Structure 1
Amino acid sequence: MPSSKAAGLVIEYIPNRLYLASYAHPPTSETPFPYPESSSRGSPTKRSQRVVDVPLTASYKSGRQAPYYFSVDDTLLYNAFHHDFGPLHIGHLYRFALQFHDVLGAKSNESRPIVFWSHSDPKSRANAACMLACYMVLIQSWPPHLALAPIAQVDPPLMPFRDAGYSQADYGLTVQDVVYGVWKAKEEGCCALDNFDLDEYERFERVEHGDFNWVTPHFLAFASPQHTPVNRFLEGSEEYAALPKTLEEVDLHPDLPQPFKNVLRHFSERNIGLVVRLNSPLYSPSFFEALGIRHLDMIFEDGTCPPLSTYTAKLALVEQAA
């Protein structure tokens, strides 16, 4: 009988149908799988899901069809800044949902267990668990506590995500935090994949295309474009007169980098009325103002929490703009 370690860590999500697993080596039809003898449960329970005392049966000896294994470890990749490793973004979740839909709907998989697996390192395990739990909340409409129940007491515990910075991380974002955040976004109508524009998301989230994402239908987050000089130009000055004041002039501007042009065009086309800069001045706000977009600076040290006065002032501005 093979050992538990050989079988990997297998977590049951839907009895006899859906499993989350991690393996040191890619699984095959010969990989031992813990087929349950019988199960009357229709939903996950909040118990430890370690494969330690479940009889392990090699699929090729069990008389049952081998599980269908699939993974996204090598296809949906997180672009790390430093020691950060996830969570994967909404575009990844959308692609995962499309692939998972095809896997579940395939006629050849009707009577087979479906095993979504990852490599056994802590980062891969956390990203896979987060992806599946978010899918169950967003697509299958599971409440977050049920989506998290199978992994609540998993051993070893899932690694928390960390900030994309060079400094020591003093706050860990857990899988639970992300799943409840996705659930809240869904409840507020901010996260709906039925009208999600994958092409637009993947285009503009790239640094060379502007590096920005819509957080809600009325709120956009973006990384600062870079262009010199960074000072504000006085109206009536030669510098102000030379600013592009139409999208055609933006496109024809000889000095603006393309990511900055993409930001200005998108913001103007989507009728964004206010830009609040939180980081260091890396561009002139006059480029926004010349297009009729209000621009304010509320700068605080990157990687820290803003003072309460800054936060409340920013909140008031956002409410006014909305």
Structure 2
Amino acid sequence: MDGDLVYARFFADFGPLHLARTVRFCHNLESRLNLAPAGRKRLVLYCSDHPHKRANALTLLAIFLVVVGGLSPELAVTRVLKGGELPPPFGFRDASCGVCTFFITLLDCARAVHKAISTSLWSYQTFSIDEYNHLDCLDNGDINWIVPGKLIAFSGPQRERIVLDAESGATTLLARDYAALFRSLGVTCVIRFNEATTYDRKAFTHAGLRHIDLPFPDGSNPSDDILFKFIRVRQQSF
């Protein structure tokens, strides 16, 4: 499974894998199981014993059992760990450069997917791998839907384009590029958490988008004041 367990890390983070990779794995595994004669064959999945690879492999399997198998998160984790015979994998950490003080467990991941499905926040059946991968590319905006159709996250644009690939001419987007893209996606309000010097907000306001600055240091937690302001703006936009 090592070929399915490729993760682009920022610092010491190593997973879990993003939704496109997770759904592709589920599609492939589901297809293989459907091709196998019922009760006559077993599908064996294996990966290296590297703790990071193992953690991502077990997470994919647990999510598959929740999404496709219809198991509860608790039962899915029990199954992949063989009822406690296998040790739990390493917990996942955030992408910050400091010492990790909070880890995300295998059960946390299974519960998160189950919650997203039960609240209609995410659908395995309608999720588009192609759309996710397209928007995830830096030259297409590095964009991810947090709440489909309502809340979107993106890399803050800079004042100058950064060349990503000289041969293809791929570059990062400017604020005006995002403004046009956001209008096509139905976005009405942009909130900037970075410093105001990163780009000119007029690129958004002149395009008819509301723009709000709520800056706080990169990699840190926002203050309660910023957090509550963000929630109020979000509620108004919804």
Q: TM-score range by the shorter chain?
A: 0.7 to 0.9
Residue among 210, 213, 220 paired with 1:304: 220
1:226 aligns with 2:158: yes
1:313 Cα deviation from its structure 2 partner: 1.4
| Corresponding residue number in structure 1 for 2:166 | none
1:266 aligns with 2:198: no
Aligned partners of 1:103 and 1:109 also within 8 Å? no
1:214 counterpart letter in structure 2 = W
Aligned partners of 2:117 and 2:123 also within 8 Å? yes
Deviations 1:64-110 (A, max 9, x none): xxxxxxx2x11452111122111001101111112101210124675
More deviation, 101-110/112-121: 101-110
Residue among 43, 55, 59 paired with 1:130: 59
1:186 counterpart letter in structure 2 = I
1:122 counterpart letter in structure 2 = P
* Aligned pairs, number: 224
Residue among 78, 95, 100 paired with 1:169: 100
1:113 aligns with 2:42: yes
The answer for unaligned runs of 5 or more in structure 1 is 1-70, 229-256
More deviation, 148-157/207-216: 148-157
RMSD between aligned residues: 2.1
Aligned partners of 1:209 and 1:262 also within 8 Å? no
1:153 Cα deviation from its structure 2 partner: 3.6
Cα distance in 1 for residues equivalent to 2:17 and 2:122: 15
Residue among 179, 184, 205 paired with 1:289: 205
SS of corresponding position for 1:185:
helix
SS of corresponding position for 1:195:
coil
SS of corresponding position for 2:117:
helix
Identity %: 29
Calculate the TM-score normalised by the size of structure 2: 0.86
Deviations 1:190-218 (A, max 9, x none): 11121112111101112222111111121
Aligned partners of 1:274 and 1:321 also within 8 Å? yes
Cα distance in 2 for residues equivalent to 1:194 and 1:105: 17
The answer for unaligned runs of 5 or more in structure 2 is 161-170
More deviation, 78-87/259-268: 259-268
Residue among 73, 77, 86 paired with 1:148: 77
SS of corresponding position for 2:146:
strand
SS of corresponding position for 1:119:
coil
2:113 counterpart letter in structure 1 = V
Cα distance in 2 for residues equivalent to 1:184 and 1:129: 19
| Corresponding residue number in structure 2 for 1:93 | 22
1:205 counterpart letter in structure 2 = D
Which of the two has greater helix per residue?
A: 2
| Corresponding residue number in structure 2 for 1:313 | 229
Deviations 1:284-318 (A, max 9, x none): 21111111111111111222221112111111110
Cα distance in 2 for residues equivalent to 1:163 and 1:154: 28
| Corresponding residue number in structure 1 for 2:167 | none
| Corresponding residue number in structure 2 for 1:209 | 140
1:224 Cα deviation from its structure 2 partner: 1.2
1:186 Cα deviation from its structure 2 partner: 0.7
Aligned partners of 1:83 and 1:164 also within 8 Å? yes
SS of corresponding position for 2:13:
coil
| Corresponding residue number in structure 2 for 1:275 | 190
1:226 counterpart letter in structure 2 = Q
1:215 counterpart letter in structure 2 = I
The change in CA–CA distance for 1:79 and 1:173 in structure 2 (over 3 A counts) is same
SS of corresponding position for 2:125:
helix
The change in CA–CA distance for 1:154 and 1:215 in structure 2 (over 3 A counts) is farther
The change in CA–CA distance for 1:262 and 1:94 in structure 2 (over 3 A counts) is farther
Aligned partners of 2:4 and 2:25 also within 8 Å? no
SS of corresponding position for 2:111:
helix
SS of corresponding position for 2:145:
strand
1:262 Cα deviation from its structure 2 partner: 5.0
More deviation, 164-173/84-93: 164-173
Tell which structure's C-alpha radius of gyration is larger.
1
1:183 aligns with 2:98: no
SS of corresponding position for 2:199:
coil
SS of corresponding position for 1:115:
coil
1:140 Cα deviation from its structure 2 partner: 2.2
1:95 counterpart letter in structure 2 = R
